[in-house]
């Protein structure tokens, strides 16, 4: 008789929001938007927030949508090898820095996650 298969084990995924991963993603986005759009990632996404808050001459997402000619300006900046090399170097250094910091601080991060954030059940981890 053929041997019966055991049911497949369900893979449990951790669905918590990781703060350090979000910070790294924001840092990477900031590198690209500062180099190509001449503004930071928040001002690119939100545009001018009102009186007293201006993009300072950078290109926002709203401006890209309303003025499609600005896509050509961004394309010209993206085709410049000096800018691309700067983005690559900054991105590599940021990636290395976050990896090094997460390895060096793994014990305090683990203690913070287990002793502070896990009991609160917020769905957030460092």
Per-residue pLDDT tens listing for the chain (126 residues) = 677 777 778 888 778 888 899 999 999 999 999 888 888 888 888 876 654 455 566 788 888 888 888 888 888 888 888 999 999 999 999 999 999 999 999 999 889 888 888 888 888 887
Q: Provide the residue count of the chain.
A: 126
Question: CB-side exposure of 21: number of CA atoms within 13 Å?
Answer: 5
- Give the model's pLDDT for residue 100: 94
At 40-59, the pLDDT tens digits run 888 888 876 654 455 566 78
- Give the model's pLDDT for residue 7: 77
Q: What angle do CA 41, 99, 77 make, to 5 degrees?
A: 35
Q: Residue 126: CB partners within 8 Å, gap ≥ 6?
A: 18, 19, 20, 109, 112, 113, 117
Tokens of 108: 């305090």
- Give the model's pLDDT for residue 101: 92
């Amino acid at each position: 008789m053929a041997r019966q298969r055991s049911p497949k084990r369900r893979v449990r995924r951790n669905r918590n929001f990781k703060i350090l991963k979000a910070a790294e993603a924001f840092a990477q986005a900031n590198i690209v938007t500062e180099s190509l759009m001449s503004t930071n990632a928040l001002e690119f996404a939100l545009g001018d927030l009102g009186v007293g808050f201006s993009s300072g001459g950078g290109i926002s997402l709203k401006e890209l949508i309303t003025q499609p000619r600005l896509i050509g300006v961004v394309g010209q900046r993206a085709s410049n090898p000096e800018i691309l090399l700067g983005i690559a170097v900054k991105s590599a250094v940021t990636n290395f820095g976050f990896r090094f910091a997460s390895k060096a601080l793994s014990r305090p991060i683990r203690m913070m996650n287990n002793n502070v954030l896990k009991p609160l059940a917020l769905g957030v981890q460092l």
